[in-house]
Homo-oligomer: A and B are copies of this chain.
Amino acid sequence: MRTVPKEDFMDIREYLIKRRAIVDKELGILIPASDAQPKRIYQSIAHALKGGKRIRPILCLACAEAVGARAKDALKAACAIEMIHTYSLIHDDLPCMDDDDYRRGRPTVHKKFGVAHAVLAGDALLTEAFDVLASSTPSDKRNIRIIKILSRAAGIAGMIAGQSADINTRVKDFAVQEYINIHKTGALIAASCKIGAIAGCAKEKDVQALQKFGEYIGLVFQVTDDIIDSEGSSGLMGKKRAFEYAQELTETAKNLIKHFSKQANHLCLIADFILNRKI
């Protein structure tokens, strides 16, 4: 098992807080909130962006750092990923989809700004994300590669397929739920890691390793989501087995990058953080 020398890195909570602040600051620059026109769209977007944990963009930054780059080298790509994640939340919450009234502890966009502006705010975030990606690194070649990865993770074969299955299927057995999870959640988490590696100019074998790492972390994320969502103590044995499964997945993920330098330490700690999270 990988050992992490304490002196070489920030405490993981400190790391997450600092990276989250960097992402939030850049998002504020990319999407100016206050008085920009059209005002209602900007207000809807600002409302939707508030309060997220930023796990996907932080994974993106940490993967860039894991291959020796600076967090800021992947910052624009990370923000585009959060924009696409947020667009999907806005649209998934719509009355015609999951019909949710609250998200991130606040009223959903359609509750506060109306359904039409919720649709438009999602459309705007999705569209603007690609504008951000088009100049996210100094290399057109890398930017094109990143755009392809993200459009496929978010597109018909990715997030859209997951949401379509979620809506279409009333009774969800294990296989259906796994399909939905992998497409709705896993695809974007794996893409976040791969994109961070590419933005950080990683060698091709490291790009592949971090994509695989992302796929396993995506699974961990889904399993821990299920543990958190299952209420009360009725399913304690099931929860224990699920947690053991998540532990195995986390170890497999960390093993994929065990040959990386100490700059990958935070990434391993994020994996542990996702495994052990309570919210």
Residues of A with Cβ closer than 8 Å to B?
Answer: 37-38, 40-42, 87, 91, 94, 96-97, 114-117, 119-120, 122-124, 126-128, 130-131, 133-135, 140-141, 143-144, 147-148, 151-152, 154-156, 160-161, 163-165, 167-168
Contact = CB atoms under 8 A, between A and B. Distances in A.
Nearest to A151: B131
Given A38-B164, A42-B156, A119 B148 contact: no
B134 A151 contact: yes
A144 B141 CA distance: 9
A165 B40 CA distance: 9
A147 B134 CA distance: 7
In the assembly, how many copies of this chain are there? 2
B128 A127 contact: no
Q: Is the interface of A mostly helix, strand, loop or mixed?
A: helix
Given A163-B120, A164-B120, A128 B156 contact: yes
Contacts of A156: 38, 41-42, 124, 127-128
A40 B42 CA distance: 32
28 contacts: A38-B156, A38-B164, A38-B168, A40-B164, A40-B168, A41-B156, A41-B160, A91-B120, A94-B116, A97-B116, A120-B164, A120-B167, A123-B126, A124-B155, A126-B127, A127-B151, A127-B155, A127-B156, A128-B155, A130-B130, A131-B148, A131-B151, A131-B152, A133-B147, A134-B147, A135-B148, A140-B140, A140-B141
Given A131-B155, A143-B144, 10 more contacts: A38-B156, A87-B123, A94-B116, A96-B116, A96-B119, A97-B119, A124-B156, A127-B151, A130-B147, A131-B147
Contacts of A128: 151, 155-156
A135 B38 CA distance: 32
